[in-house]
Each structure stands twice: as structure tokens, then as C-alpha cells.
Chains A and B, each alone.
Chain A
Amino acid sequence: MAVSDLVTRQAFADAPQRGAATRLLEDERWLAAVLLLPTVVLLGLFIAYPFVEGVWLAVTNATVGVPGKFVGLANFEALWNDSIFRTAVYNTFIYTAVATVFKLGLGLWLALLLNRNFRGKAFTRAFILLPFIIPTVLSTFAWKWMFDPTFSVINWTLFHFGLIHSRINWLGEPDLALISVIIVNVWRGVPFFAISLLAGLQTINPELEEAAAIDGARAWQRFWHVTWPLLLPVTMVVMLFSIIQTFADFQLVYVLTGGGPANATQLFATYAYQIGVGTGLLSQGAAVSLAMFPFLLIVVVVQLLYIRRVEVH
């Protein structure tokens, strides 16, 4: 005991002679600064700086290779009078609204189905997520091939069930093209909704449903009065996430239709790409992108407020 006591005392005596860096990092404010530095640098360089640059581009007349001069709000004025831009705005809102409603509805339905006990449940759940994890453009190409008017397997199936009599040009007709694009977006988004909502459902104590059943509530009453209110917080967050992603979607439309036919599926992002990268009008492209910002900001603020409210409760 005596020997080890000596060792201990020595360690204690040595203690205050630590290096300056060690002592600095024991102060949590300094440690926090050091830990956050890489993140702040990367996000500053590639999010904050591009944002400022984007705002600057949007108020100049820069094109590829030409710095451009300050032109005020001329770009936005031009957009205001641009009928294609207006179509894109209209399409984006329709696309987002319709796709979100279907993703939520079908996703919730699928989640409720998966929440029951059946053989092969884990297996099914794993497979169902595939549309979400497989790179979007690659799976979208499969859909493009399935939509091909001449070789379409969908047409073949519908024809043989007697539902159609002539070929359907899925991506070639304006209204149908928008519907087709929405179908693919819903296809990709449903697994995300289903799995997230399933996670939400699994946190709900089954005794609550059973108690409601004993109280005489029918299945849909149990859902409406017990399950749905408890699921609402998860639903809200998932939906707001999805709205942002859908609103700013690019790859799906770019691959399926490129915004056509006749701009019938043109969205903010595809139009920005077409003008900014395709035509090289950087400033106008940046202006189209930035036009998304007010709506995104509203969604983000709603989400922040909602999360805060949920945390308070």
C-alpha cells in the first residue's frame, strides 16, 4: 500500500504541468470551437459562400466566362414575364402537392400493413426500401423504359386486361407526362414514408389500441382517435422533409422528360439547369434557383417551429 501511495502522490504533484493545448481543450468553450471548426469551414465554404455568390449572380448579367455587371432585379423582372418560368412554378406546386398527398396516403397505408405481424415481415420491409436506396436516376431509367410508347410493358399489361385499346404515350403528352413523373416520384417516396411512419407506429403502445377496442371503438375510430394523433409529430416532420425534396427535385424529371413535352414537366430546378448550364446564362439560372428560396424558407421555418413546439410538450 505504501509504495502505491507514493506513486499516487507523485501523479498528483505532476498534474498541473500539463501542456497548454491540453489545458485549453479542457475548457469546453475552446474544445467546442476546435470540434466545430472543420464543419464550419466546409459549410461556410460550400454553402454560405455559394449562397452569397448566388445572390450576387442573380443581380448581375453574368454568363459563362463573363463576370457581368450589376443589373438590379432585372433578372427577376425577366422571369416574371417569362411564360415558361410561370409554367415551371405552376408545375412545381402541382407536382409537390399531388406527389406529397399520394406519398403520405400510400405510405401510411403501407406502414399500417407492415405494422401487423406476418411471416417474412423483416424481409418484406428490407425489400420495400429498395426504390429509396437505389440511385434515383438509375431506377428512373427503368421507368423511362417501361413508359416507352412502343415497347411499354405497362401498355401491354393494360391492353391485355382490356383497359386500353390503343397505345398510351406516357411521356409524350403534356398532361400525361406530368402524371407519369408524379407516379415515379411517388414510387420512390412511398418506402421512405412507410418506413418512417412504421417506426412512428412502433413507438405507440399497443395497449392503447386494445384499451380503445375494449372501450368499444371500431377499427377506423381506433385509428382516427388513438393512432393518428400519436403519429402526427412523425408525420409532420417526414412530410416537411419530403416537401422540400420534391419541390427542389431535378434528377427524376431530367431523366424522364427533360422538362418536356413543351415544358409540361418543367420544374424550378430543371429550368434553372436548362438556362444556367444548358444556355450558359448563369445569372438567370441562379435567379431561377433562388426563386425557390422563399417557399423553402417558409417550409423550414414551419418545421423549426413545429419541432420546437413538439420538444416543449
Chain B
Amino acid sequence: MAPVVIRNLNKKYNEVHAVKGVNLEIRDREFVVLVGPSGCGKTTTLRMVAGLESITSGEVLIGDTVVNALPPMDRDIAMVFQNYALYPHMSVYDNMAFGLKMRRFARAEIDRRVRHAADILGIEDYLSRKPRQLSGGQRQRVALGRAIVRHPQVFLFDEPLSNLDAKLRVQMRVELKKIHDRLGTTAIYVTHDQVEAMTLGDRVVVMKDGVVQQVGEPLDLYNAPANRFVAGFLGSPAMNFVRVALVENGGMVQAVGDGVRLALPGATAVRLRRHLGEEVTLGVRPEDLRIVAAEAANGLSFEAVVEVVERLGSEILLDLKVGAGSMVAAVEPTVQAKVREHLRLALNPERLHFFDSRSEAAI
């Protein structure tokens, strides 16, 4: 187990600059998730750590060693791939033993480790089967087992759960978390699924267009996104964005947009005073909207028309028309709302996000 340090890492393919100056320090035993939309450079970064992709410039350190020039076999890492990459001509046992055989481990030690890993993952019964005789979930376990037996310095995961069906994905996610808690091996995990990122990561790294947008603990990222992209990327359903102008009205700072006119509360108003007269983006998470009676309306509420009601069971999603724009609100499952109904919605004053229109950075 070892820390991983990435220093000013760059990757260029001819004209395309896929990874731009990534800096990251991953502590020993930490589980770090790289998340972002496809093409954001997260997989390329991971592959550079693995040694599968050459490094254009910058450094990767595993432990104290700069591994830039080391071939993958000498980096002492293990990787789990999206399509599992199980060797189709080998039994489950041989799949798991392959890495140890390549490293010339003693037969008894190989056997001990394979059986131990199989026990952890509950695949003892399949050891003599071929990969094509296994279900998706079982294959996933074998791929994990193959990484576990190696006791590597670092685990690398490249979207390992995205080929599983939704139910199995949740189950494996929990299991992965347990295994990491048990083994404590440093792990770098790449995914495009923000739920996986939030639930698995000790820390989450959000990337876009080859650039790291924000690094932090999941809830910090969720509660205090550094920019509009991070705010929109994390959370489902996604944060609502409304363009508003900040104006002063009778000593109050107001945010005025299409269908909304909000009087900002004290602390927020102070913070935003220097942006008076500017157009900014207001961000509100769906769960921070709640329905209020028309007469209880205060300065932080607005009128909306219900367009679609999605009953998820644990909550209800309301697709709302606000002015000419639209918003989503997540409300209690007990709320009775009908299509075309006019509602009044109030915002949680503690949880308003504002972003600069040009730089999109949080303000």
C-alpha cells in the first residue's frame, strides 16, 4: 500500500490535449474517485498511472518511486476493467493465479491467496469454471479477485460496475466498499456515475475537458461546489439553474429572473453585494424547494405551474414551469400535486448557490 502522487500530468494525442496539468495527492489507504463525463480525461489519467498510456509530461509517483519509465508489470498495481477482461481460455482459478504465476510465487502461496480471495468474494464454487459460464456479477467478482490476490500497492478501477444491471450495481458497490475497508489498499476509481463517486469515494475528483474541476470529500463537493459544472454534475435530479440579475431594491439585494423575484437573506446579500448590477446564475437543488401555502409566501418564494408529476415512491419529482423556464422540485411523497396546478414554492435560504455568468465559478 502506498500513496500516489500525480504532478502536473499532461497527455497529448497529436492535436488533442486530453489531460491538462493534473495535480493530485492520493494518501495511503485512501479511496479516490475520478468522475466526469466521457472524454473528460479521467480514464486517460488512470491509464497513465497504470503505465498503459505514455506520459507526455509530468510525473506519477507510487510510493516514493517515479514510475514514468516503468512498464505496467513493474508498477505493482492491479486494475479492474469495465468489461472485466477475464482471460476466456483460463478457469477462474487460473485467471486469479495468473498475476502471481507471472511473478513467480510459490505454488502453495498462490493457492492460499486465490482461495482466500475466493472466500472473501464468495466464488469458491466457481474456481474451475470458465469465464463464459459465469453471470455478469460473478465475472465482476472474479475480476476483483484477480486484483485482490496480488496485494498490490494500488488498485485501479476503470468503470468496473457500468456493465452490470442497476440492482447488481448497487450490491457490488456496497461490497466494493466493504472490501476496501477490509484490505485498506489505496484505490483510484474512475466512473461517470456520480452516485458511485459520492458513495464510494473518501475523496472525489471531478474532471472536465482534461482539467480537474474540484477535489474534496463527497459532501463538501455537494454542498459547496466550486463551479457551475460541479454543481450540475453531482446530484440527481440535477441542480436547477436560473439566470438572474442582482439588483438593489429598497436596501435589499434582489435576484430577478424569468418568473422569480427573490429577496436574498442577510449573509448571502452581503456576500453578493459587490456583484450588484450583474447577471449571475442561481443554483437550487431540487430537494431545497418546498411547497408553501400561498398566504405563507415570503420574499424567497415564487409561483410555478406543475407540468409533470413523477412519483418515485420515496419522493415525488415535480417538473415545473417557472416563467418561460423549467425547474424540478423533489418533494415529500405525501404531497398531493396535480398537473397544471399552480403552486407556490419556497427556497431554503441556507442553500442557495450563485455562479459567475462568464467564469462559472461559485461566488
Contact = CB atoms under 8 A, between A and B. Distances in A.
B71 A26 contact: yes
B71 A12 contact: no
B95 to A, nearest CB: 19
B74 A7 contact: no
Contacts of B105: 7
Interface string A1-29: 10011011001100110100001001000
A196 B137 CA distance: 39
Interface string B140-156: 00000000001111000
A157 B150 CA distance: 76
Contacts of B76: 8, 11-12, 15
A186 B86 CA distance: 47
Nearest to B54: A28
Nearest to B103: A11
A12 to B, nearest CB: 4
Interface in B54-109: 63, 70-71, 73-74, 76, 103, 105, 109
Interface string B174-207: 0000000000000000000000000000000000
A4 B103 CA distance: 13
Contact of B151 (A5, A15, A16, A18): A5
B321 interface: no
Contacts of B151: 1, 4-5, 8
Given A18-B74, A26-B71, A12 B153 contact: yes
A42 B109 CA distance: 46
B113 interface: yes
Interface string B29-71: 0000000000000000000000000000000000100000011
Given A8-B76, A8-B151, A8-B152, A16 B109 contact: no
B145 to A, nearest CB: 15
B173 to A, nearest CB: 25
A16 B152 contact: no
Contacts of A26: 71
Nearest to A11: B103
A12 B154 CA distance: 12
Contacts of B153: 8, 12
Contacts of A16: 70, 74
Interface in A14-70: 15-16, 18, 23, 26
Contacts of A11: 76, 103
Contacts of A23: 71
Contacts of A8: 76, 150-153
A4 B117 CA distance: 13
Contact of B74 (A1, A4, A15): A15
A26 B54 CA distance: 12
A1 B149 CA distance: 11
**Residue among A4, A7, A12, A18 with max Cβ neighbours from chain B (10 Å):** A12
A241 B70 CA distance: 46
Given A4-B151, A5-B151, A8-B151, A15 B109 contact: no
Interface string A122-145: 000000000000000000000000
Contacts of A18: 74
Contact of A4 (B63, B70, B73, B109): B109
A12 B70 CA distance: 11
Given A4-B151, A7-B105, A15 B113 contact: no
Nearest to A12: B76
A207 to B, nearest CB: 26
Contacts of A15: 70, 73-74, 76
Given A12-B76, A15-B70, A26-B71, 7 more contacts: A1-B151, A4-B109, A4-B151, A5-B151, A7-B105, A12-B63, A16-B74
23 contacts: A1-B151, A4-B109, A4-B113, A7-B105, A7-B109, A8-B76, A8-B150, A8-B151, A8-B152, A8-B153, A11-B76, A11-B103, A12-B63, A12-B74, A12-B76, A12-B153, A15-B70, A15-B73, A15-B74, A15-B76, A16-B70, A18-B74, A23-B71
The 3 closest A-B pairs by CB, nearest first: A15-B74, A12-B76, A26-B71
